[in-house]
Amino acid sequence: RMKLMEEQLWALLKQHLQQTLTYWSVFFSFGLCISFLGPTILDLRCQTGATAEQITWVFFSQQFFLLVGSCLGGFFKKNLFTSLLALFLCTLTISVMFAAIPLCHHIVPLFVTMAITGGAMGVIDTIANYQLVNLYQKDSAVFLQALHFFIGLGALISPLVADPFLTEDSCVLNTSWTPKYFSFHQNESDHKAERLEPISTYGVQTEGKGLSSVSYAFWIMALINLPVPAAVFTLMYQKRLLPCSRKAPGLLQERSGSSSQDAGHGSLLACCSTANLQDHPPTLFFIHVLGGAILFLTDGIMGSYAGFIYSYAVSPPLLMGHKAAGCLDSVFWASITIGRLGFIFMSYSFSAPRLLSSSLVGAIVVQLLLIIFYHSCVFLFIGTCVLGLCISCMFPSMLAFTEDILDYKGKGCATTILVTSASTGEMLLQLVFGSVIHSEGSFSFLLCCTTASVMAFCLFLLFLCVQRIHRS
């Protein structure tokens, strides 16, 4: 049976190979944007002369407009032409913004640049997920795992590209002032007290001639990303969607016979309207809400862990060196990438409920162990790796499972709502966890993540109950 299923999936992939590869490459572009801010934050502060509080708003602008883009992405899903045109413009915009970041010498242009990048990422997130689900429907779980593998791949490559160009010493020339940030390069026993403060509170000297060469990293990433809009443009040409060729019917018309009258379906406003909920059982509403709440928490955990693990590692009681702590983010994204690659094969061997429940239980157990062995730097690396493996399958598996429950008849509403909920969680939980960490100390970071994982597991059990009622 497994061999027959594998042959069927290969046949489907060959049938839709160009479209599938294009959507996967688009998510690689998405992944490039996720993790480059963290390792380049010191260089960007030096470049713009920004304070730690000001640079925090750059993170927020990307996350907020990613949410906005996710909400607006539904408006571009009415047919294949508008979907691919939006993907082409968004991926091209990402390359342009990468090239523009080195030109931002003040915090406001950097804020605007990251806002535009976040909006493009949000549109990509909604459209690529929806089109792949619509393309494969009942068999979409495996291909969604592969799609989200490419996010992890892009997120892994981005810090690797930036690393050779990051500032190792003071980023300004001809100054006798040495920022506390660089006290890690000095004797640890002489500066133990200086390491009791979170790194984000330290000042950065910005007067003098800048020495940062991180601009080259952004230009390299812009070049790496350029083949992606080229791939989308090629697909548009092959599908005869360009003005110079005969226009072919859109993907939605090919698969489901939808007309232009359905253009509004799939947008967040249309999905949440009263008219769209009429003639449906109440369980439909709860499936959307619970699915969105689960991804709100799990994607929030993923974003928060990637965002705060460095600050946690360099704070008491671990007091890790900044080089070792900087590796934790790469380890986390590498484990997510490997996990999604593994779940590609597991998703056609095990059911979605089993994968999701085991992943949530695994995430809770490893976070409890991190709390118990909070003093161990070695276990922090091990726990970070295992947590990335556990949480890697949550979004693609939950999306495929929810669409399967609804029998792919929700006109894209499930995809839009789940993507938007995940983006909202990634933005808001980072703000909530950040405020708790600031007021209660770095140890509360693990407590926040564990609490969110337990809540997600409880909501998933409730989701399974509602699913059984809905199907009966």
Tens digits of per-residue pLDDT, 144-202? 888 888 888 888 888 788 878 876 555 544 444 333 333 333 333 343 333 333 334 44
Residues 449 and 366 in one domain: yes
Cα–Cα distance for residue pair 163/214, rounded to 1 Å: 9
Same domain flag for 433 and 287:
yes
Query: 369: pLDDT confidence band, cut at 50, 70 and 90?
Result: very high
The answer, yes or no, to whether residue 288 has pLDDT greater than 80, is yes
Mean pLDDT computed over 217-237: 93
Q: Answer yes or no: is 174 within a domain.
A: no
**3-state DSSP assignment of residue 79:** coil
pLDDT attached to residue 182: 36
Place of tokens 């069927």: 8
In 3D space, the residue among 233, 300, 219, 185 whose CA is nearest the CA of residue 22 turns out to be 233
The yes-or-no verdict on residue 6 having pLDDT over 80 is no
Look at residue 61 in the predicted model and tell me its pLDDT. 87
Looking at the predicted structure, is the pLDDT value of residue 238 above 80? yes
CA dist 376 and 214 (Å) reads 33
Confidence of residue 80 (pLDDT cuts 50, 70, 90): confident
The answer to the question of residue 254 being in a domain is: no
Confidence band for 383, pLDDT divided at 50, 70 and 90: very high
Q: Does the model's pTM come out above 0.85?
A: no
DSSP 186: S
DSSP 87-116: HHHHHHHHHHHHHHGGG--SHHHHHHHHHH
Are residues 37 and 87 located together in one domain of the fold? yes
Task: Centre a 10 Å sphere on the Cβ of residue 433 and count the other Cβ atoms it contains.
Answer: 23
The answer on 303 and 388 residing in a single domain is yes
Beta-bridge partners for 209:
173
CATH number where 466 lies: 1.20.1250.20
> Per mean pLDDT, which range of 68-77, 184-193, 239-248, 280-289 is the poorest?
184-193
In this structure, the answer to whether residues 237 and 290 fall within a common structural domain is no
Checking if the pLDDT of 363 tops 90, the result is: yes
Radius of gyration for the alpha carbons in the chain, expressed in angstroms and rounded: 23
Structural domain contains residue 150: yes
Structure confidence by residue, pLDDT tens digits, 111-155: 999 999 999 999 999 899 888 888 888 888 888 888 888 888 888
**pLDDT of the residue at 193:** 37
How many domains does the structure of the chain reveal? 2
User: Is residue 253, in this structure, part of any structural domain at all?
Assistant: no
Do residues 366 and 236 both lie within one domain? no
Instruction: Tell me which residue range forms the domain holding 52.
Output: 12-169+213-242
d(C-alpha 103, C-alpha 44), whole Å: 11
| Same domain (yes/no): 371, 466 | yes
Phi, psi angle pair for 450, to nearest 5°: -65, -45
Which of 271, 269, 27 lies closest to 129, judged by CA? 27
- pLDDT for position 470: 86
Using the predicted structure, report yes or no on whether residue 451 has a pLDDT greater than 90.
yes
pLDDT averaged over every residue in the chain: 80
Give the model confidence (pLDDT) of 334-362 as tens digits: 899 899 888 888 887 788 899 999 999 99
How far apart CA 330 and CA 39 sit, in angstroms, is: 10
Q: Is 80 exceeded by the pLDDT of residue 270?
A: no
**Bigger pLDDT: 187 vs 379:** 379
Average pLDDT of the segment spanning 267-286:
68
Domain co-membership, 334 together with 411: yes
Residue 350: which region, alpha, beta or left (left: phi > 0; alpha: psi -120 to 50)? beta
For residues 69 and 125, membership in a common domain is answered with: yes
Mean pLDDT of the region 262-270: 51
pLDDT in tens, 7-55: 777 888 888 889 999 999 999 988 888 877 767 777 888 888 887 677 7
Residue 309: the pLDDT is: 87
The answer as to whether 47 is a domain residue is yes
Cα distance between residue 22 and residue 18, in whole Å: 6
- For residues 226 and 319, membership in a common domain is answered with no
Residues 221 and 292 in one domain: no
Q: How high is the pLDDT of residue 5?
A: 66
> Is residue 249 in some structural domain?
no
Distance CA 434, CA 175 (A): 33
Determine, yes or no, domain membership for 3.
no
Residues 234 and 287 in one domain: no
**What whole-number distance in Å separates Cα of residue 47 and Cα of residue 211?**
9
Position 183 in a domain = no
Distance of alpha carbon 44 from alpha carbon 440, whole angstroms: 28
Question: What confidence category does residue 291 fall into, taking pLDDT thresholds of 50, 70 and 90?
Answer: very high
CA distance 36 to 50: 18
pLDDT at 253 over 70: no
Q: In terms of pLDDT, which residue wins out, 78 or 76?
A: 76
CB neighbour class for 243 (10 Å; exposed up to 12, middle 13-18, buried from 19):
exposed
